[in-house]
Amino acid sequence: MSGLLDIKNLRVGFGAVTAIKGVSLSLHRGARMGIVGESGSGKSTLGLATLGLLPDFARCSGEVLFDGTALPWDDDVAMAAVRGNRIGFVHQDPMSAFSPVHTIGTHLTRAYTSAHPGASKSDAIKAAVDRLDEVEITDAKSRLGHYPHEYSGGMRQRVMIAAALIGNPELLIADEPTTALDVTTQAAVLRVMNDVVESRGMGLILITHDLGVVAEICSDVAVMYHGELIQHVSVGQIHEQAHSYTEALLKARPRPGMRGQRLPTIAELLPEGWSDV
Amino acid sequence: MTGLILSRLVSSFIALLGAALVAFVALRLAPDDAARLTLGAFATDEAVAALRSEMGLDQSVIAQFFVYLQDFFTGDWGRSYSLGEPVRSLLGQRSPATLELGLYAFGMAFVSALGLALWGAHRKGPISDGVPKILGVLALGVPQFWFGLVLLIVGFEMTGLFPGPAGRLPATVTPPDGPTGMYTIDALLRGDLRTFATALHHLFLPALALGLLPFGFLYRLLRANLQDISDAPFALVARAHGQSRLRVMVATLLPNAIIPMLTASGLIFGQVLAGSVLVERVYNWPGAGMLVTQGVLQQDYAVVQVFILLSAVIYIVTNLVVDIVAALIDPRLAKGDA
Ligand SMILES: Nc1ncnc2c1ncn2[C@@H]1O[C@H](COP(=O)(O)OP(=O)(O)OP(=O)(O)O)[C@@H](O)[C@H]1O
Ligand SMILES: [Mg+2]
């Protein structure tokens, strides 16, 4: 059975830095995969490379099959038909992900008409309102005319999810959709996103630092370290057959009963000589 | 928005007062006695004194300043002693020529800067990006009157493609009658396409000469702004939403990048009008610039002073308009806090 997404030996370099060192990974239809790893391990780069959105100076090799066909990264027009329409993307930084001189309504309706060429303006507005309702923005209709700076961080995060879903994609790549938020808002945004993904039977790649979130939402977890994929298991198995690095990650989390103790660092928890991987 | 307009109106008014003060003081500092200049070296001292009091020159400086302000705003701009005509009617006759030249120069500069900056940002290549870049640098370094002369040599002397430095229309063509005094517009209003084409033909070289400098400014400004924001996350996100590179460039990046260009346009348009003094000289263009050149040479201060103050008014008004347009595009500016 061919998966929804097949990443095959992907390598990405920026100048002297090799950000992704030959990653292969596949995702089944309806699977929800969490990608964890420390800052700079290449998580965002993996997401952007999949969508063909790396900067021009990046070197990229390998391929990504989506629904069995290789994504034509070099063909901007062909990729534009995939982006938003078949693969949705939520950006890491809600503060700078909106053009400051365009209304939220403009952002959403443009995303809609890109995925539905020839759609009427009223259809686009209706879709925008529906999607905003879905991510629980109250008073969506009148809020369409507002500018990004009139939205709070949490609202922008939701709007970004709404915009990523408006083209009705089969896969959503969400790059740390909740990092900028407080814990309560974070939980609300994740719940909303999870509900939508589940109800539509979409695939999900959730990039995050938070193993707790992964355990709650995802079916699979992939662990990245310095541009390499060091483990890919189902969420249930993560404790049983954890790679020593994954185990260190798990132990480095704060847990109940640890009050007053210093959290160990990853370096302290890793076995001797591990960094040779 | 109303708050912004009000505060801009107030600051425009203050700027205007300042400009009036400068023009006034400059005139008082001039070594020659205006009354003596008007009447000539052979007039009797009594006659000069009589004219001095008629001109109000025997009153206190402050009283003179207010009279001067009142005169300026009521349209009493004094008399050119060298041409023997009121300054206002002189400028009225000459300004449309300058304004028409300035509008074409600025329009050509703006449109080509916009087109080339977008093209270069969209297709980064040695021709699309490199050639306009070099042109932009040259534009800022080449003196306008020199470029005007080169254009004359190439366009008129060598190839004969364009008319020589003979003003706005050939002597055989009657200037079109119309409300604006700008020949291309008046000709169009009358439906006279032949005169329109002739006027355009005469405008082309001087407008090119005058437009090169603002082209260089505007091109470099817009190109740099497009470059700056082309890596912005919102450009990436717009593409992730399924918009092509070109669409993102025009619909998302341009509205963000064009605001500084619009703001600068106010200043630059003022500079174009001021810069026309030299270009008008080269092309024998009968505009306000020629009038001022003559005024300076003849120490005809009434003309020069009004020109200075009028340029300030044009500067201030264009900047007011530009600020309001920028605020309409960028809602953050409308709050008046940016
Ligand atoms: N545009 C770029 N130019 C140069 N280097 C880059 C660029 N984007 C990423 N890198 C490099 O690639 C590596 C991986 O970066 P990436 O953003 O994918 O990390 P990440 O896992 O998403 O980190 P974080 O959790 O902090 O978001 C880093 O070494 C980074 O410096
Ligand atoms: Mg990242």
Residue B280 has pLDDT above 50, yes or no: yes
Tell me, what's the pLDDT at A277? 45
Tell me, what's the pLDDT at A181? 75
| A236 closest CA partner among A217, A223, A253, A219 | A219
What's the number of CA atoms in the CB half-sphere (13 Å) around residue A69?
Answer: 7
Tell me, what's the pLDDT at B337? 46
Report DSSP state, residue B162. S
Terminal CA-to-CA distance of chain A, rounded, Å? 32
Average confidence (pLDDT) over B46-55: 81
CA distance A21 to A94: 28
> Distances in Å between the alpha carbon of A225 and those of A22, A40, A220, B92, B272?
12, 9, 17, 75, 59
Q: Is A250 helix (H, G, I), strand (E, B) or coil?
A: helix
**Between A and B, how many CB-CB pairs are < 8 A?**
83
Chain A nearest C-alpha distance from B125 (Å): 13
**Mind listing the pLDDT tens digit for each residue in B176-220?**
988 999 999 999 999 999 999 999 999 999 999 999 999 999 999
- Chain A residue closest in CA terms to B255: A101
Verify whether the Cβ–Cβ distance A147 to B243 is below 8 Å: no
Tell me, what's the pLDDT at B294? 87
Average confidence (pLDDT) over B107-121: 94
Instruction: Please tell me if residue B241 touches chain A, with a CB cutoff of 8 Å.
Output: yes
What residue's CA is closest to ligand 1, atom 29? A40
Q: Which residues contact A256 (CB under 8 A, 6 or more apart)?
A: none
**Mind listing the pLDDT tens digit for each residue in B163-178?**
989 899 998 888 998 8
Q: Which of A20, A23, A35, A45 to mutate to test the pocket of ligand 1 (most atoms within 8 A of CB)?
A: A45
Nearest-atom number in ligand 1 for the CA of A48 is 18
Tell me, what's the pLDDT at A1? 47
Instruction: Please tell me if residue A77 touches chain B, with a CB cutoff of 8 Å.
Output: yes
B10 CB burial (10 A radius; 0-12, 13-18, 19+): exposed
Instruction: Please tell me if residue A267 touches chain B, with a CB cutoff of 8 Å.
Output: no
Residue B336 has pLDDT above 60, yes or no: no
Tell me, what's the pLDDT at B32? 65
CA distance A86 to A66: 9
Token digits of residue A85 = 């329409």
Token digits of residue B277 = 């003094």
Q: Which of A76, A84, A149 sits opposite B241 (nearest CB)?
A: A84
Q: Model-level pTM?
A: 0.82
What domains sit in chain A, N to C, each tagged with a CATH number? 29-48+75-251 (3.40.50.300)
What domains sit in chain B, N to C, each tagged with a CATH number? 87-335 (1.10.3720.10)
Q: Is B54 helix (H, G, I), strand (E, B) or coil?
A: helix
- Of the two residues B338 and A215, the one the predictor is more confident about is A215
Chain A nearest C-alpha distance from B65 (Å): 45
Residue B122 has pLDDT above 90, yes or no: no
CA distance B76 to B86: 8
Instruction: Find chain B residues with C-beta within 8 A of A77's C-beta.
Output: 244
Q: Show which of residues 96-135 on chain A sit within 8 Å of chain B, judged by CB atoms.
A: 96-102, 107, 110-111, 114-115
Token digits of residue B173 = 């063509």
Tell me the β-bridge partners of A18: A13
Nearest-atom number in ligand 1 for the CA of A209 is 25
Instruction: Please tell me if residue B251 touches chain A, with a CB cutoff of 8 Å.
Output: yes
Angle separating helix axes A153-165 and A104-115, nearest 10 degrees: 20
Where in A32-152 does DSSP place strands (E)? 32-36, 59-66, 69-70, 87-90
Query: Does residue B159 come out as left (phi exceeding 0), alpha (psi in the -120 to 50 range) or beta?
Result: alpha
CA distance A2 to B275: 69
**The complex's ipTM?**
0.88
Using pLDDT thresholds of 50, 70 and 90, give the confidence band for residue B23: confident
Tell me, what's the pLDDT at A184? 82
Report DSSP state, residue A235. G
Low-confidence ranges of chain A (pLDDT < 70): 1-2, 180, 239-244, 258, 266-277
Instruction: Find chain B residues with C-beta within 8 A of A94's C-beta.
Output: none
Tell me, what's the pLDDT at A276? 46
Token digits of residue A54 = 């790396």
* Span from the CA of A17 to the centroid of ligand 1 (angstroms): 9
- Of the two residues A269 and B46, the one the predictor is more confident about is B46
- Percent of chain B topping pLDDT 70: 98
Tell me, what's the pLDDT at B82? 81
**Mind listing the pLDDT tens digit for each residue in B59-107?**
888 888 888 888 888 888 888 878 888 988 998 899 999 999 999 999 9
**Mind listing the pLDDT tens digit for each residue in B25-34?**
877 776 667 7
